[in-house]
Amino acid sequence: MINSFKKHKKLLSIIALSLGMSLSTLPNAFAAFPTIPNGDNTEQPSLAPMLETVLPSVVSIKVKGTAQMDNNMPEEFRRFFGYLDTPQRPFVGQGSGVIIDAEKGYIVTNNHVIDNADDITVTLNDGHEYKAKLIGKDPQSDIALLKVENAKKLIAIKLADSDKLRVGDYVVAIGNPFGIGQTVTSGIISALARSGLNMNGFENFIQTDASINQGNSGGALVNLNGELVGINTAIIAPNGGNVGIGFAIPSNMVKSLTSQLIEYGEVKRGVLGIKGNELTSDIANAFDLDVQKGAFVSEVLDNSAAKDAGIKSGDVIVSMDGKPVDSFAELRAKIATTGAGRTVQLGIIRDGKEVNLEVKLKNSDESTTEAKSLHSALEGATLSNGEVKGQKGVLIESIAKNSPASRLSLQEGDLITGVNKERVNNIADLRKIIDSNPSAIALNIVRGNSRIYLILH
């Protein structure tokens, strides 16, 4: 092994000499890195100066709580028995977090780190421990906001503009993998606006090859200036280990969500009110479009923000607030994490010309809705968030005669508590699952003392 290393070391030296350069004189690859003295009147690239200012802003999080055990009943039995209650069991967990406001003690992390936690303990870089309370969370984007009281000498991180990131930018991931202690790994931005991973309800991930492992969730992804560009949240690990495919929630998304959690304790999600698709080459050719990226609008919903602003079916949305929109998924995530009531500027391609429209987003906090906005087979039903015998779900308030919903055998008073294998607590849950376009939609319904399934086609 030693001989092999020496051979490789010699080979690398020859390559460096043949290029006529050394680490101390590389002009491009390491130009952005800070340097430290090398002891022989030269300097070497090092992340240490930047990390010394950033590490105190990243914390470790330990949680205790209780959670419902998984129901492993086979699907064929679920059709008869529905979702049976399963026992609660205690759990402990760990993750990471990032201080974003030192004065007020605010710490951002992932929702899945603190989900169902009864006790949350934050450990600072210097070893001090504090109990934290949950200010608010947004499961659909996997963001949660914590607060610690009377903590001294907190150091907050500065947030970068994640819309300025480019593929190839150097980044550093900081967290507490496997609970072994604060750890730093480095890499580059591998991709931007990554979606379609079915990890979160709204996905607009930064992809990086910086090593991210279990326990890194909620930790920081920073640029070489020591600014937060993302919150580490997930990896693709086919064999259970890191393979260099990690994902982080962009800092601009984090900033928007946490500001709403601070102000309201929840996210008041903005809604545009359109249905659409990714702009494929087939769609571009069919509509004789010159653009290859954007969000194609297939339908504009009645009484929506889009309708009020003059958006039309066939439009292609290519920018929001002056920043490019490359896909429908990216637009959906940006709109959903923008506060309701905010006005945004949308750049649109219509009939080969660019049109700019001002849109005031509406609130997605639905307490009632016309069911046809979710699925054509539900047309004629009015839905509301409801609860029957302590169980939350979507209540069928009324059904129009001779409507698709009536032909589906829905009844007033039915409570939708699940779709396929997923639980449904409210209209937002139901919309999210149906919007994911599963090949078959089976509604799990509580009717009186019985549970039934209805299939939507």
13, pLDDT greater than 50: no
Radius of gyration of the chain measured on its C-alpha atoms: 25
Say which CATH architecture domain 158-264 belongs to.
Beta Barrel (2.40)
**Best CATH choice for the domain 55-148 from the list 2.40.10.10, 3.40.50.1220, 3.40.800.10, 3.40.50.20:** 2.40.10.10
| Segment among 136-140, 201-205, 283-287, 346-350 with least mean pLDDT | 201-205
Q: How many other CB atoms are there within 10 angstroms of residue 27's CB atom? A: 7
Decide if 323 contacts 305 (C-beta within 8 A).
no
Residue-wise pLDDT tens digits, 139-159: 878 999 999 999 988 999 999
The confidence score (pLDDT) of residue 432 equals 79
- Average the pLDDT over each of 5-9, 232-236, 288-292, 295-299 and give the range with the smallest value: 5-9
Where do you find CATH 2.30.42.10 in the chain? 270-363, 368-456
Catalytic residue among 142, 209, 414, 429: 142
pLDDT in tens, 262-281: 988 888 888 888 888 888 88
Q: What is the pLDDT of residue 12?
A: 31
Domain 368-456, CATH:
2.30.42.10
Interatomic CA distance for residues 147 and 132, integer angstroms: 5
| Residue carrying structure tokens 């923008």 | 338
Give the mean model confidence (pLDDT) for residues 57-79: 69
Q: Does domain 270-363 have CATH number 2.30.42.10?
A: yes
pLDDT band at 132 (very low <50, low <70, confident <90, very high): very high
- What whole-number distance in Å separates Cα of residue 232 and Cα of residue 210? 10
Residue position matching structure tokens 């010309």? 353
133/25 Cα distance (integer angstroms) = 50
pLDDT of residue 63: 94
Q: Where in the chain is the domain with CATH 2.40.10.10?
A: 55-148, 158-264
Choice among 57, 60, 96, 112 that is catalytic: 112
- Contact present, 59 and 98 (Cβ < 8 Å): yes
H-type alpha helices, 362-414: 404-407
217 carries an active-site annotation: yes
Amino acid at site 198: N
Query: In this predicted structure, which of 27-36, 90-99, 281-290, 312-321 has the lowest mean pLDDT?
Result: 27-36
Specify whether 8 is catalytic: no
Dihedral sign (CA 101, 105, 109, 115)? negative
pLDDT for the residue numbered 198: 66
Query: Percentage of residues in the chain with pLDDT exceeding 90?
Result: 37
Q: Above 60 in pLDDT, residue 28?
A: no
Split at pLDDT 50, 70, 90, the class of 187 is very high
pLDDT classification of 168: cutoffs 50, 70, 90: very high
Handedness of CA 211, 60, 113, 137 (dihedral sign): negative
pLDDT in tens, 193-244: 887 776 666 788 999 999 888 888 999 999 999 999 999 998 887 776 667 8
In 290-412 the beta strands, taken as DSSP E runs, fall at 295-300, 316-320, 323-324, 343-350, 353-360, 362-363, 368-370, 381-388, 391-399
Residues 6+ apart with CB under 8 A from 37: 43
Three-class SS state of 391: strand
For residue 450, give the amino acid letter: S
Of 254, 59, 48, the residue nearest 153 (C-alpha) = 59
Least confident of 49-58, 69-78, 203-212, 406-415: 69-78
Q: What is the pLDDT of residue 23?
A: 35
User: Would the pLDDT of 24 be above 60?
Assistant: no
Average pLDDT over residues 292-298: 89
**Where on the phi/psi map is residue 55: left (φ > 0), alpha (ψ -120 to 50), or beta?**
alpha
High-pLDDT (> 70) share of the chain, %: 82
pLDDT per residue as tens digits for the range 350-406: 988 889 999 999 876 555 566 777 888 888 888 887 887 778 889 888 787 778 888
Establish whether 290 is a catalytic residue. no
Q: Which residues contact 409 (CB under 8 A, 6 or more apart)?
A: 454
pLDDT class of 316 with cuts at 50, 70, 90:
very high
Q: Using an 8 Å Cβ cutoff, are 410 and 416 in contact?
A: no
Query: Can you give the pLDDT at residue 327?
Result: 87
Which of 57, 162, 217, 304 is catalytic? The answer is 217
Tell me phi and psi for residue 70, to 5 degrees.
-65, 145
Report the mean per-residue pLDDT for the chain: 82
